[in-house]
Amino acid sequence: MEYYYSFKSYLKKLHNKKIWRVPLSTGYSCPNRIKSTGCTFCDGKSFIAEYMNYKNIEDQLKYGIDFFGKKFEVNFFYGYFQQNSSTFGKTDDLVNKYETVLSNQNILGLIISTRPDCIDKTITDKIKELKIKYDKDIWIELGLQSVYDKTLSLINRNHTYYDFKKAVKIINDVETINIGVHMIIGLPDETPQTIFNGFKILFSENKIQGLKMRILDILPDTEMESYYKKSPKHFYNFSNNEYIELICNILEIIPENTVILRTLNYNPINLINKDKKLLTKDQILDGIRKKFIKRGTKQGCYFNKDSPNCPHPALISTPKLFL
């Protein structure tokens, strides 16, 4: 039994093939690092494959397909514009790069990761044209991180929750493009209660098809690291069990047809964790499964009247501090 709707299950249902994501770069910078110092949690270089430094998108795609195809024994892929804000730049150039990826016979879909303030009708109309032309699965992943403007200001996102809601509406007007949302768990001054309430706000106010979660990791030489060293009391110190408990609570209030693109991004070296023994990613995922079995619940059970085991803090009101 599957306790949440994973991206792997979504791809199997849609294509019935083994598929891998090929990370790509448009070659443009992040606008937040142009007009300011960037987000406090980001170093701008982590998790970026060396081949993504190639300016030519054809070369990036070829290398990525060859590398991941051999490593994971897979023949079909989604192109994933992962680096920086992938709707920021010259529109015609961006569209040409999207089309180069979509026109490849080994590519079955496209994921474009970006910021809410880098979405407008011009770019979504162009993406819609590509969707019609190639009839392939297309996702836009919006980096939100938190629904609370206080938090967004603290981490220097330079956009608001309202900006995100506007971007969601623009994309939803296209109808054929899926929306995924990036959220970070453990940002400064956010407790398990406020985090949970934030997800409740997110899904009650927005039409979203996918969710990508990440626990905050403190990267070296970032503003977030400096802030943590100076003010550790502003960061909630999760135990392994508390994190597992929170993820299960969140998944229970998310509609069962929402694709969980990622449950956690786990780098045990930089995590804030009160337990002496850190669990591995697989152990945390197994813990989530066991917690659901013990509860007799799963993703979306909050909306199912036939799930009597699902009463939990779903009706907690949002603290005035975060309104």
| Percent composition of the chain: helix, strand, coil (DSSP 3-state, to 5) | 45, 15, 40
How far does the chain reach from its first CA to its final CA, in angstroms? 38
Query: Which residue, 159, 43, 61, 143, is CA-closest to 110?
Result: 61
Q: What is the arithmetic mean of pLDDT over 162-173?
A: 96
CA distances from 74 to 21, 66, 71, 289 (A): 10, 10, 8, 27
> Which residue intervals of the chain are DSSP H helices?
7-15, 31-35, 57-72, 91-102, 121-134, 149-154, 161-174, 192-205, 223-230, 240-252, 281-295
pLDDT tens-digit map of 183-198: 999 999 999 999 999 9
Query: For residue 284, what pLDDT band results from cuts at 50, 70 and 90?
Result: confident
Q: What is the pTM of this model?
A: 0.89
Q: What is the arithmetic mean of pLDDT over 57-69?
A: 92
CB atoms within 10 A of CB 115: 25
Quote the mean pLDDT of the chain: 86
Over its C-alpha atoms, the chain yields an Rg (Å, rounded) of 19
How many whole angstroms separate alpha carbon 29 and alpha carbon 83?
8
What pLDDT does residue 273 have?
Answer: 58
* Tokens representing residue 22 in the block: 């090929």
Instruction: Indicate the range of 6-15, 49-58, 297-306 predicted with least confidence.
Output: 49-58
Query: Which residue, 200, 195, 308, is CA-closest to 253?
Result: 200
Q: What is the arithmetic mean of pLDDT over 84-104?
A: 93
Which distant-in-sequence residues (6+ apart) come within 8 Å of 121 by Cβ? 170, 173
What pLDDT does residue 166 have?
Answer: 96
Can you tell me whether residue 171 is helix, strand or coil?
helix
Instruction: Indicate the range of 81-85, 181-185, 233-237, 287-291 predicted with least confidence.
Output: 81-85
Give me the sign of the Cα torsion angle 89, 91, 96, 101: positive
How many whole angstroms separate alpha carbon 261 and alpha carbon 12?
13
Question: pLDDT at residue 52 above 90?
Answer: no
Instruction: Indicate the range of 42-51, 199-208, 249-258, 291-300 predicted with least confidence.
Output: 42-51
How many whole angstroms separate alpha carbon 178 and alpha carbon 11?
13
Query: Which residue, 164, 175, 173, is CA-closest to 141?
Result: 164
What pLDDT does residue 96 have?
Answer: 95
Give yes or no for a contact between 101 and 110, defined as CB atoms under 8 angstroms apart: yes
